[in-house]
Amino acid sequence: MAAQEASILDVFGGEDIDIQTKDGTCKLSELSGKYVGLYFSAHWCPPCRGFTPKLAEYYKKVRATTDDFEIIFVSSDRDQGSFDGYYAEHPWLALPFDQRDLKATLSKNFKVSGIPALVLLNPQGEMYNSKGRAIISKPVADFPWAPPTMADTLTSDLGLVDNQGNTSTWGDLAGKTVGLYVSAHWCPPCKAFTPNLIARYHKAAEQGKNFEIVFVSWDKNRSQFEEYFSEMPWKAIPYENQSVRDAVGDIFDVSGIPRLIMLDMEDGTPSVIRDNAKGPCDADTNLDEFPWIKPPMSDLSRDTEGIDELASILLLQNNESEESRAVRSEYLMEIACEQQALDKNRKFNCFTGNQGCSILTRIRDLTGVQNSSMIMLDLGDSGAYYKTDLPNSVEDIRTFVQGYESKTIQRQQCKR
């Protein structure tokens, strides 16, 4: 017997639950075969109240052209009354307000850290666009609004320019390691990082590394772009090519800058080495770790990439002996390697706190955990954390993870 095809039911835990409509309820299964947007929003949120009317107007236009699209409101309202009043303004479906556990699961599974958020799912229940809010600026005819792909955007004929006006193409980068540098003149952290990146770029040339950087500007006008780019010794996507600059932001889910995306162009086709190498690049003055491949596990003093994206296992052990830190770090490394092998299906990130640093101090302040401990930090769950003793074996870590997953250990709340 053929395996059953995945569907929207799998997104909601496999059950054919009741979904609220404007005049009653329907079964979730009635949405099978449709593209579905999960709209995370709340009445208390001013940006949500500003965005909802715009989305409602666009939704009605889309629904006038196709029956293959639906939206489900997933409420972050604080009580039933607020939900009812807000939902009265919405023209689509809603997850019943009393489904609080399911709402929390959906927020966590789709890494919703801020609202409003619109996550787009295909008929198999797979997320294909995490930035659905942008659809209201697109033609209705673009439904189902598939986001740009790296292959379709970084094509061999994509034009590039240097600050002397010389032109080249993306295809000329074949065989190189390429850093896409998303940055802007108006951004203070960018202006602080750019001189360091220039130093690394020149160091790479001295060491004979086949490295190129392509600037992707988030400047607000051409004059800002030209002033900022005049400082840079590398190439750029021309400022007038806004569609490609915007597409880079969508492809790599860029929400903050500066961002250094490392790509391998060995065979002429880009593949991602690291989503954001800003931190390790900044720390690696001699390029000992170039091209900054992401290790299975990092120390908080060196890199915190991903700590706000997935639940993270942390060993807070900077006050322990060097021998103790090394042994326990090896225990966690085994778990970290297993998680890295899962690639996009990984559940946890892993970090050590072997050295005192501002990030480790901040985590201790947030959690109130000042002694040597192992914690699970789940920032996506409204700043949750779980605490136990440092592990004496790999199995101790596995047991801790099982307790977290089964919710059999105490959830604690980070301080504001």
The secondary structure of 178-225 as a DSSP string is: EEEEEE-TT-HHHHHHHHHHHHHHHHHHHTT--EEEEEEE--SSHHHH
Contact between 414 and 384 under an 8 Å Cβ cutoff? The reply is: yes
At residue 413, the pLDDT reads: 93
> Regarding predicted confidence, which is higher, 240 or 279?
240
Domain that holds residue 175: 150-283
Last residue of a domain, one of 87, 110, 142: 142
304-353 residue pLDDT tens: 888 988 899 999 999 999 999 999 999 999 999 999 999 878 899 999 99
Q: Are 156 and 138 within one domain?
A: no
> What's the CATH code of the domain at 272?
3.40.30.10
Q: What pLDDT band is residue 6 in, cutting at 50, 70 and 90? A: confident
Query: Does residue 288 lie within any of the structural domains?
Result: no
Last residue of a domain, one of 110, 142, 174: 142
> Regarding predicted confidence, which is higher, 275 or 4?
275
Q: Given a cut of 70, is residue 28 above it in pLDDT?
A: yes
User: What percentage of the chain has pLDDT greater than the value 70?
Assistant: 99
Q: Are 219 and 137 within one domain?
A: no
Q: Are 20 and 77 within one domain?
A: yes
At residue 2, the pLDDT reads: 39
Mean pLDDT of the 55-83 span: 96
Q: How far is CA 106 from CA 34, 100, 103, in A?
A: 18, 10, 5
Q: What pLDDT band is residue 268 in, cutting at 50, 70 and 90? A: confident
At residue 338, the pLDDT reads: 96
Q: Are 329 and 304 within one domain?
A: yes
154-204 residue pLDDT tens: 999 999 999 999 999 999 999 999 999 999 999 999 999 999 999 999 999
- For the CA atoms of the chain, what is the radius of gyration? 24
Q: Are 28 and 136 within one domain?
A: yes
Q: Given a cut of 50, is residue 3 above it in pLDDT?
A: no
Contact between 401 and 351 under an 8 Å Cβ cutoff? The reply is: no
Alpha-carbon gap, residue 24 to 103, rounded angstroms = 20
Last residue of a domain, one of 283, 310, 325: 283
Q: Given a cut of 70, is residue 1 above it in pLDDT?
A: no
Of 55-59, 214-218, 265-269, minimum mean pLDDT range: 265-269
Q: Are 170 and 276 within one domain?
A: yes
Pick from 85, 106, 137: which is nearest to 39 by CA?
106
Which SS3 state, helix, strand or coil, does residue 46 take? helix
At residue 5, the pLDDT reads: 67
Mean pLDDT of the 214-225 span: 96
β-bridge pairing 311-316 and 373-378: antiparallel
Pick from 253, 260, 302, 296: which is nearest to 277 by CA?
260
Contact between 53 and 91 under an 8 Å Cβ cutoff? The reply is: no
Query: Does residue 2 lie within any of the structural domains?
Result: no
Q: What pLDDT band is residue 303 in, cutting at 50, 70 and 90? A: confident
Mean pLDDT of the 46-55 span: 96
Asked, as a colleague might, if the bond just before 258 is cis with ω within 30 of 0, I would say: yes
Q: How many domains does the chain have?
A: 3
Question: Torsion-angle region of residue 287: left (phi > 0), alpha (psi -120 to 50) or beta?
Answer: left
The CA dihedral of 265, 266, 271, 273, to the nearest 10 degrees, is: -100
> Regarding predicted confidence, which is higher, 175 or 256?
175
At residue 264, the pLDDT reads: 96
| HSE-up (13 A, CA, CB side) for residue 314 | 34
Tokens describing residue 407? 């919710």
Query: Does residue 181 lie within any of the structural domains?
Result: yes
Q: Are 186 and 248 within one domain?
A: yes
Looking at the whole model, is its pTM more than 0.75? Answer: no
The CA dihedral of 32, 137, 226, 237, to the nearest 10 degrees, is: 30
Mean pLDDT of the 252-273 span: 91
367-408 residue pLDDT tens: 999 999 999 999 877 789 999 999 999 999 999 999 999 989
Q: Given a cut of 90, is residue 137 above it in pLDDT?
A: no
At residue 4, the pLDDT reads: 53
Q: Are 126 and 174 within one domain?
A: no
